[in-house]
């Protein structure tokens, strides 16, 4: 049963375009998938190392801009006549450039930000995100500023011996996002399941104890930031090429808040948490849009966030797991009492 469950979900996800004909729902599913990937990356920092980065949207946005600019090309003057000219490259290259550029930004911002902890870390990360937003808004020569980067071409995949395939429609993007999501999931789950992941959890639980047993705290935090930023950058690239237009609003704080709400609601520090939270908050607008204006929807999200912190501080996934184990225990206890099983069965 436990082994069948992931297979069931995978088959369900793979067959979605076969039975889902509603283009709006498919679109929601794609954007939900992109934000879920971003939430998964945030969870690596927030859930596993315990660092609340509220500047996460910076990496998402950096990835989006890096990918779009790689694909569209640019011609900027850096200083006194020194020009950097870049000819357009294929979109799929942009995707990998986005991952690398975001990862490098994660390294640099991580190195600086992890000098402080707690509230100061939060504020430094917000500051970095706001500075990137203002750069995107004001460096018009590179980013077009508020005019936005438009006509971002879709991804084209090349298959050796089979020719190329361009992702023109939603179904194709759905599968591409799904594949990227699975990739991100595998990377993150391998990482947190490894020795490195255990070191991260150790320093979340007790940083001074972790460093006293020889865990190089800054190194692991920066590593988590790099992986997290790289995954977020990839998600940003997907977003840019799917919507075909990006403007500096991509750096708005509300997107970080969306990711945080997804992680907190689903359950930080669990692999399934951001996915569950992502699906809940991705589809909430679909459910409430008929009777609630956007402002009302946000009020609902904010209130829900407060309620979650008060009622389910660990999030949905740990609460469900807790309920399931408790039920199994009660069942076992009942069978022991009835004399049909010995203690130790079902372990």
* Chain contacts with another protein (rule: CB under 8 A): 52, 112, 115-120, 122-124, 126-128, 130-131, 134-135, 137-138, 253, 257, 260, 264, 293, 295-296, 298-299, 301-306, 309-310, 313
How far apart, in Å, are the Cα atoms of 52 and each of 38, 157, 204, 212, 300?
Answer: 14, 36, 11, 23, 23
Q: How far apart are CA 119 and CA 330, in angstroms?
A: 42
Closest to another protein by CB, 167 vs 264, is: 264
Q: How far apart are CA 24 and CA 192, in angstroms?
A: 35
Closest to another protein by CB, 209 vs 306, is: 306
Closest to another protein by CB, 50 vs 282, is: 50
Sorted by sequence, the CB contacts under 8 Å of residue 80 that are 6+ apart come out as none
Q: How near is the Cβ of 15 to another protein at its closest, in Å?
A: 36
Instruction: Count other Cβ atoms within 10 Å, centred on residue 222.
Output: 19
Q: How near is the Cβ of 85 to another protein at its closest, in Å?
A: 24
Closest to another protein by CB, 144 vs 335, is: 144
Q: How near is the Cβ of 142 to another protein at its closest, in Å?
A: 13
**DSSP assignments along 202-243, one per residue:** HHHH-HHHHHHTT--HHHHHHHHHHHHHHHHHHHHHHHHHHH
Q: How near is the Cβ of 135 to another protein at its closest, in Å?
A: 8
Closest to another protein by CB, 146 vs 346, is: 146
Closest to another protein by CB, 4 vs 295, is: 295
Closest Cα partner for 181 from 338, 298, 40?
A: 40
Closest Cα partner for 34 from 186, 241, 239, 230?
A: 239
**DSSP assignments along 310-338, one per residue:** HH-TT-HHHHHHHHHHHHHHHHHHHHHHT
Q: How far apart are CA 121 and CA 129, in angstroms?
A: 12
Query: Which class for 341: exposed (0-12), middle (13-18), buried (19 or more C-beta within 10 A)?
Result: middle
Q: How near is the Cβ of 5 to another protein at its closest, in Å?
A: 30
Closest to another protein by CB, 71 vs 113, is: 113
Q: Are 233 and 99 in contact (CB under 8 A)?
A: yes
Exposure b/e, 27-50, CB count within 10 A at least 16 = b: eebbbbbbbbbbbbbbbbbbbbbb
Q: Are 156 and 268 in contact (CB under 8 A)?
A: no
Q: How near is the Cβ of 271 to another protein at its closest, in Å?
A: 20
Q: How near is the Cβ of 278 to another protein at its closest, in Å?
A: 17
Q: How near is the Cβ of 106 to another protein at its closest, in Å?
A: 16
Closest to another protein by CB, 302 vs 346, is: 302
Q: How far apart are the first and last CA of the chain?
A: 15
Q: How near is the Cβ of 178 to another protein at its closest, in Å?
A: 30
Joined tokens for residue 251: 């750096």
């Amino acid at each position: 049963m436990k082994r069948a469950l992931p297979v069931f979900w995978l088959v369900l996800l793979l067959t979605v375009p076969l039975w889902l004909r509603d283009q709006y729902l498919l679109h929601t599913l794609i954007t939900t998938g992109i934000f879920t990937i971003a939430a998964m990356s945030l969870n690596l920092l927030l859930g596993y190392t315990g660092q609340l980065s509220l500047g996460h949207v910076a990496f998402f946005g950096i990835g989006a801009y890096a990918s779009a600019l790689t694909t569209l090309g640019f011609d900027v003057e850096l200083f006194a006549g020194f020009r950097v000219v870049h000819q357009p490259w294929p979109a799929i290259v942009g995707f990998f450039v986005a991952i690398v550029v975001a990862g490098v930004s994660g390294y640099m911002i991580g190195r600086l930000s992890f000098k402080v902890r707690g509230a100061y870390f939060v504020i430094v990360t917000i500051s970095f995100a706001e500075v990137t937003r203002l750069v995107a808004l004001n460096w018009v020569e590179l980013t077009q500023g508020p005019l936005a980067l438009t006509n971002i071409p879709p991804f084209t995949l090349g298959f050796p011996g089979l020719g190329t395939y361009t992702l023109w429609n939603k179904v194709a993007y759905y599968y591409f996002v799904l594949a990227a999501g699975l990739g991100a999931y595998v990377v993150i789950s391998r990482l947190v399941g490894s020795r490195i992941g255990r070191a991260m959890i150790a320093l979340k639980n007790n940083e001074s104890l972790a460093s006293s047993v020889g865990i190089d705290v800054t190194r692991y935090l920066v590593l988590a930031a790099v992986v997290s930023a790289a995954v977020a950058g990839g998600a940003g690239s997907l977003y840019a090429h799917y919507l075909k237009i990006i403007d500096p609003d991509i750096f708005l704080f509300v997107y970080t808040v969306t990711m945080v709400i997804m992680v907190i609601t689903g359950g930080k520090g669990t692999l399934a948490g951001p996915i569950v939270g992502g699906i809940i908050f991705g589809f909430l607008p679909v459910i409430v849009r008929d009777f609630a204006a956007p402002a009302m929807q946000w009020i609902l999200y904010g209130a829900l966030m407060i309620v979650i912190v008060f009622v389910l501080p660990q999030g949905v996934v740990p609460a469900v797991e807790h309920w399931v184990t408790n039920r199994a225990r009660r069942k076992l206890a009942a069978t022991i009492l009835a004399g049909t099983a010995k203690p130790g069965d079902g372990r």
